[in-house]
Amino acid sequence: MSVIPAKVAGVKRIVVVSPPNSNGNIDPLTIVAADICGATEIYKTGGVQAIAALSYGTKSILKVDKIVGPGGAFVTLAKSLVSENTGIDMLAGPTELGIIADNSANPEFLALDLISQAEHSSDTFCYLITNSEKIAKLVNQKILKLLPTIQRKELVKSSLSKNGFIAVCKNTSDMINLANSLSPEHLQIMTKNPKSISLKITTAGLVLLGNYSASSASDYVLGSNHILPTNGFGKIRGSLSVMDFIKINTEVTASKSSLSKISKHLDTLTTSEGLPNHYEAVRGRL
């Protein structure tokens, strides 16, 4: 999901970094995936030290122009620190899942989806927004029933109890407003007419429509890019894409006659800013 957009955009040098396991090796699946996607280099390093190497360069790793991809809290902080020296995509935090649901939604699906994203770490932010008190109670009951039976239950329980919530809103409009205010990384809409609601969602990183568009499936195989904005950054950008690897070039050509036509306006503007030599550079040509 990092390499393919760069490849499509025509990036010539694509460097992948991945931390070694306890045996000192990179997971073979990571190496094969990087090769299939078209990475040109792969290095056995991860974490903060990998961000430093990519940003400033080492004897064995040449510096890059831009660093993309998710990481833990330390990687995110490292990306922030090097951003004055090297371009980055975004500061991605812990996983976020918001779900908008009405009384047509399946409570078990809702509970399973919240649990699936909460298992990432104890600081994930997973919540349900509904206009149905019945659905709110049923989902809460389902989660409590499932928790003792699932794997990673302590992690899920910690995340949902510390950070999760179920909000019962008066109407659809309130549900939309709350979702837009929170701008979640993933937003599932499980209602009778999810498309009508999605048209009013402006801040989510990824919107998933209907009962079968599970966020956990989007993490892997539904086709969308899973490098997504968190911490409210969905208000200003979407997922990683080809656009993250494209620089727009601008060219301008002016003729003597065109400069002559606009010179009086330039005189007004440069005078108002107190920069007279800007105007003289043009007047000298005329």
Enumerate the β-bridge partners of residue 99.
Answer: 128, 188
Q: What is the pLDDT of residues 85-111, one digit of tens each?
A: 999 999 988 999 999 999 999 999 999
Q: What is the pLDDT of residues 241-252, one digit of tens each?
A: 999 999 999 999
Residue listed under structure tokens 């794997």:
151
- Is 96-226 in the same CATH topology as 3-88? yes
Nearest to 45 by CA among 36, 37, 59: 59
The reported pLDDT for the residue numbered 72 is: 85
Q: What is the pLDDT of residues 11-69, one digit of tens each?
A: 999 999 999 999 999 999 999 999 999 999 999 999 999 999 999 999 999 999 999 99
| CA–CA distance, 52 with 97 (Å, rounded to integer) | 31
State the burial class of residue 252 (Cβ atoms within 10 Å of its Cβ: 0-12, 13-18, 19+). Answer: exposed
DSSP 8-state assignment for residue 20: -
Place 70 in a pLDDT band, splitting at 50, 70 and 90: confident
Question: How is the chain split into domains, by residue range?
Answer: 3-88, 96-226, 252-286
Mean pLDDT (the chain) is: 96
The reported pLDDT for the residue numbered 2 is: 95
108 among known catalytic residues? no
- Specify whether domain 96-226 bears CATH 3.40.50.9100: no
DSSP 182-218: H--SEEEEESSSHHHHHTT--S-SEEEESTT--HHHH
Q: Which helix (H) or strand (E) holds 276?
A: helix 276-283
Question: Out of 185, 226, 273, 278, which one is annotated catalytic?
Answer: 185
Percent of the chain with pLDDT over 70: 100
CATH H-level, domain 3-88: superfamily:
Nitrogenase molybdenum iron protein domain (3.40.50.1980)
pTM of the model: 0.89
Question: Out of 96, 120, 186, 226, which one is annotated catalytic?
Answer: 186
Average pLDDT over residues 224-244: 95
251 among known catalytic residues? no
Enumerate the β-bridge partners of residue 67.
Answer: 88
The reported pLDDT for the residue numbered 55 is: 98
